[in-house]
Structure 1
Amino acid sequence: MIPVHSEEETLGVSNDDIILQNIEVDQYALPYLEPIFLDDNKMKLLMNRLEEAIYQEPVNARFSTNGLIISEKLGVTLDRNQFQSLFREHFYSNTIRNFEVPKKSIYPKVDSGLLGEISVKRLGTYTTFFRKSNVERTHNIALAAEAINNYVLFPGETFSFNRIVGERTRERGYKRAPVIVRGELSEDIGGGICQVSSTLYNAVDLKGIQIVERYAHSRKVPYVPPGRDATVSWWGPDFVFKNMYNEPILIRAGSAEGTMWVSVYSSDTAEYFTGS
């Protein structure tokens, strides 16, 4: 059994409670009328503002660098149904007490139990190599590998490399490094990213994975055999595939000491699903 490590003693998130006073509730009456009718549009705007202030995104369980499972964290958001009920009750009553804005938990898609189940069977793996002396390219590879590491793709879902990794910019930490543009070797932000997408392509080229979109470079690349590459760019080609297994798949990826690797895992019951 894989040990589970929690970053906090309890799951969930904590944030300061929000209390609404009666004087704040009363201002949501319809204008130009006696304050006996509630302005629903103003109340909805209030809920939007409260939700923005309260919302905390849930965090999926994930593997640490030393192979331990780090537990998931619950998110939190405004309980809109309960809020509307409380708000109307206070608006239309003569109560003088305040009320606490109600919240509810948001559960992540991947908890530690699921992560443990889909990490027992390795479906595929692939390794490529690079010169670690090229510091900028090495940095970009590590950054993109971390972006796809621990990603869980559920049955029928589609993985887009550009969507998951995001735009490669200086602001997001990427550096200038050699790239191939229209058949010519040049230098641009995010050089080295195509080695990550190509390594990923070779790892997921399995019976249970449908390759939806893949493009080859305009010239041979040194890190994979001819015809086994997958070029990507933010405003151009993407690498996209779909999970056709009956179980979620887990992508593990990393790079160190001139080596880039991607492995794909699932549960013992994973098999190619041919139904709709």
Structure 2
Amino acid sequence: MIISSLSFLLFMFPPQIAENTMGVSNNDIILQNIEVDQYSLPYLDPLFLDEDKIHSLMDRLEKAIYKAPINAHISANGHIIPEKLGETLDRKQFQSLFREHFYSNTNSNFEVPKKPLYPKVDRGLLGEISTKQLGTYTTFFRKSNLERTHNIKLASEAINNYVLFPGEIFSFNEIVGERTKERGYKRAPVIVRGELAEDIGGGICQVSSTLFNAVDLKGIQIVERYAHSRKVPYVPTGRDATVSWWGPDFVFKNMYNEPILIRSFSANGTMRVSVYSSDTAEYFTGSS
């Protein structure tokens, strides 16, 4: 769909109508020259542009155009799935074109310019950092507990294929997100103040604990970790990492000179996390 009355949509209709109308368009957006003329300051010389109005227009165009890039990732069968470029409004070029049309006598239209958004992880990088296994750890659970098994699978998928660059921090709560019914998590057994109870997201701590044991390496700095108030059955005493959305988090920092790749797998009562990097990965001490 080509939007030919953009300013009318943006400023004559309620905002939600304009956003929905623009959001369904997968084609280029064309701005007519007659619309450009409507962005002069009211009651003043038409040679002056209303900057606030232009920035508001750019914000709405950006919202309509924006498409997030997608990182390359490794499929369940071990194949590298290529990255996908995103796109957004090219604000600098748009302002240049807008002013050119505003101050000229041309009657031509112009296409709203876009620019690509590149993902952090492309297939080349992913191929390099998936060659050397730095660490791995496996835990086990009863797959007959369907709710807990489901929660473990969801959290495992959330951290799978995550790439942590040198010096970056990994926060389990930030990456996995809040464990809610709306996000697919179910009620399952959890430990609360030393007592066994049921809550949304029960079983998540097995994922964070498995992850902790996999990343407990010389090149990984553990920033934040808390133990359960009672022993858990899936890891040895003192080797657990409890997490909750409004409470403890599990946080670590990549101290290697190369990015690390986290691969996580959960099926048939087995939870496994492996950490990979390139052949040139070394622990960076910060000294020359």
- TM bucket (normalised to shorter chain) is over 0.9
- The answer to whether structure 1 residue 108 and structure 2 residue 122 are counterparts is no
Alignment of 1:1-276 (within 5 A): 15-275=26-286
Residue of structure 2 in register with 1:8 after alignment:
none
Give me the TM-score of the superposition, normalised by structure 2: 0.90
**Contact 2:223-2:253 within 8 A present in 1 as well:** yes
Deviation at residue 22 of structure 1 after TM alignment: 1.5
Deviation at residue 69 of structure 1 after TM alignment: 0.3
Give me the TM-score of the superposition, normalised by structure 1: 0.94
Q: How many residues align?
A: 263
Spell out, residue by residue over 1:92-114, the C-alpha distance to the aligned partner (whole angstroms, 9 max, x if none): 11110000000000100000000
The residue type equivalent to 1:185 in the other structure is L
Q: What is the alpha-carbon distance in structure 1 between the residues aligned to residue 80 and residue 209 of structure 2?
A: 27
The residue type equivalent to 2:246 in the other structure is W
The residue type equivalent to 1:113 in the other structure is G
* Runs of 4+ deviating beyond 6 Å: none
**Contact 2:34-2:107 within 8 A present in 1 as well:** no
Deviation at residue 32 of structure 1 after TM alignment: 1.2
| SS of alignment partner, residue 250 of structure 1 | strand
Residue of structure 2 in register with 1:5 after alignment:
none
Q: What is the alpha-carbon distance in structure 1 between the residues aligned to residue 123 and residue 48 of structure 2?
A: 48
Q: Percent identity?
A: 84
Deviation at residue 15 of structure 1 after TM alignment: 3.1
Residue of structure 2 in register with 1:3 after alignment:
none
Mind listing any 5+ residue stretches in structure 1 that lack a counterpart? 1-13
Mind listing any 5+ residue stretches in structure 2 that lack a counterpart? 1-24
Residue of structure 1 in register with 2:8 after alignment:
none
| SS of alignment partner, residue 99 of structure 2 | helix
- Higher fraction of helix: 2
Q: What is the alpha-carbon distance in structure 1 between the residues aligned to residue 150 and residue 265 of structure 2?
A: 12
Q: What is the alpha-carbon distance in structure 1 between the residues aligned to residue 254 and residue 215 of structure 2?
A: 9
